[in-house]
Amino acid sequence: MADDATRPRLLTGDRPTGRLHLGHLVGSLRERVALQGTHECFNIVADLHTLTTRPRAEQIRELPHNVRDMVLDLLSVGIDPEQTVIYLQSGVPAVYDLAILLQMLTPTARLQQLDSVRDMAAAANIEGQMSLGLLGYPVLQAADILMARAELVPVGGDNLAHVEIARELATRFNELYGPLFTPPQARSSRVRMLPGVGDEDDRARKMSKSVQNAIWLIDDTATVRAKVKTLDRAGLAAFADAFVADVAEREALVAGAEGDTSEAALVDAVCSAIERELAPIRARRAELGDERGRIEEILVDGTISARQVAYETLQRVRELMGLESLWEGLVAATEARAQARKSPYG
Ligand code: TRP
């Protein structure tokens, strides 16, 4: 393993709102696993971000369970806590501080343009009453990315605009206060989008946990097959493209889906490709069993590492902005006065 100091940093992650599905796998999880050997990796469990659309007490009470399921899913796809820092966002207070400072550099008009933010408001039925927190979603995400000084951010298409905001904020910060941040690069997987499974409406939308049109990583073989069978030819072609690893076989199937390959053969090919990928995931999950203690330990260890990194960055930010010297100056002046009071005759 290369020395951490020489490896570029990578950061990505998800909101803990439910289990992970095949869309996550093709959109980003595969890349996270593949890049573990070459990058210093951070995987955020973005619980604060869930509050942007789910702030109610009963929704917050679901978090511990969802966080645990998410970590279990991450471990089962092969994210290795020895190589990737898996951490809980709300456990890193320096991120709140950094987010506030970055807000000062963010034009609200820039955020109001974003489809992603408007789509999230629509999905949560709060279009007319978007909170400042939801509008600021991308700024908090930029704080996550920049606190780790991440250079690479593997995300799905819906998050590309947020990485762009992080780039703009990095550049703006550097212009105003001095060079600190390398503007982070987004990275999308080869497969940009996986359609949902189910009825016509479900299939017209991308696979998503909120629509419940997903094949979950925990689905068993029979369930996967039943769901694959709901796909039409176009859907089967998209799945073949996403899951068949061999390039020649993949291209032949995608071409065949337009005409001469039977639907039954497409279903078989897609199912066996999915099974090949899910089998080791299931095996790892079975191995982990219900090791609640192990999962908590991984998350706590990761969060402690993330805190350290975030605190270092925040310190640098405060120094460059002049906030640290302001504070230190006040402390020094106060100490000098206290000394003078204690020994008034020098
Ligand atoms: N916005 C991501 C999602 O859609 C979660 C997230 C929060 C994230 N902070 C991040 C992703 C930083 C990449 C980098 O769930």
**Residues 18-59: pLDDT tens digits?**
899 999 999 999 999 999 999 999 999 999 999 999 999 999
Ligand 1 pocket, 31 CB below 6 A?
A: no
Ligand 1 pocket, 13 CB below 6 A?
A: yes
Please give the number of the atom of ligand 1 that sits closest to the Cα of 150: 14
Give 10's pLDDT tier (boundaries 50, 70, 90).
Answer: very high
Torsion, Cα of 233, 236, 237, 243 (10° steps): -170
Residues with Cβ < 8 Å from 175, sequence gap 6 or more? none
User: What distance in Å separates the CA atoms of residue 267 and residue 287, rounded to the nearest whole number?
Assistant: 29
| 61 has pLDDT over 90 | yes
| 142 has pLDDT over 80 | yes
Average pLDDT over residues 317-340: 95
| Largest pairwise CA distance in the chain | 100
User: What distance in Å separates the CA atoms of residue 116 and residue 344, rounded to the nearest whole number?
Assistant: 63
Instruction: At 306, list the tokens.
Output: 């993330």
Q: Name the residue of 116, 155, 185, 210 whose CB sits within 8 Å of the most ligand 1 atoms, as the mutation to test its pocket.
A: 155
Closest C-alpha to 42, from 184, 164, 244:
184
Q: What share of the chain is helix, strand, coil (3-state, %, to 5)?
A: 65, 10, 30
Question: Looking at ligand 1, which residue's alpha carbon is closest to its atom 14?
Answer: 12
**Residues 74-105: pLDDT tens digits?**
999 999 999 999 999 999 999 999 999 999 99
Please give the number of the atom of ligand 1 that sits closest to the Cα of 13: 11
Amino acid letter, 315: Q
- Tokens 């696979």 belong to which residue? 207
| 344 has pLDDT over 80 | no
- The pLDDT value recorded for residue 299 is 97
What DSSP string runs through 196-232? --SSHHHHHSB--TTTT---BTT--HHHHHHHHTT--
User: What distance in Å separates the CA atoms of residue 195 and residue 149, rounded to the nearest whole number?
Assistant: 33
